[in-house]
Amino acid sequence: MSKLVIVGTVAFDAIETPFGKTDKILGGAATFIGLAASQFNVDASVVSIVGGDFPQEYLDLLSNKNIDISGIEIVKEGKTFYWKGKYHNDMNSRDTLVTELNVLEHFNPVVPSEYRDAEVVMLGNLHPMVQMSVLDQMENKPKLVILDTMNFWMDCALEDLHKVIKRIDVITINDEEARQLTGEYSLVVAAKKIHEMGPKYVVIKKGEHGALLFHDDHVFYAPALPLKEVFDPTGAGDTFAGGFAGYIAKTGDVSFENMKNAVIYGSALASFCVEKFGTQRMEDLSSREVHERLQQFKSLTQFDIELT
Task: Please give the positions annotated as active site.
Answer: 238
User: Helix or strand or coil: residue 171?
Assistant: strand
Look at phi and psi of residue 20 and say left if phi exceeds 0, alpha if psi is from -120 to 50, else beta. left
CA–CA dist 66, 45 (Å, integer): 9
The amino acid occupying position 108 is N
Query: Which helix (H) or strand (E) covers residue 135, if one does?
Result: helix 128-137
CA–CA dist 19, 192 (Å, integer): 39
Beta bridge partners of 85: 15, 96
Please provide the distance, in angstroms rounded to a whole number, between the alpha carbons at the two ends of the chain. Answer: 45
How does strand 218-222 pair with strand 211-215? antiparallel
Beta bridge partners of 282: none
Which residue from 54, 60, 63 is spatially nearest to 11, judged by alpha carbons? 54
CA–CA dist 112, 132 (Å, integer): 16
Radius of gyration of the chain (CA): 18
CA–CA dist 297, 299 (Å, integer): 5
**210: number of Cβ within 10 Å:** 16
Q: Is 23 exposed, middle or buried (0-12, 13-18, 19+ CB in 10 A)?
A: exposed
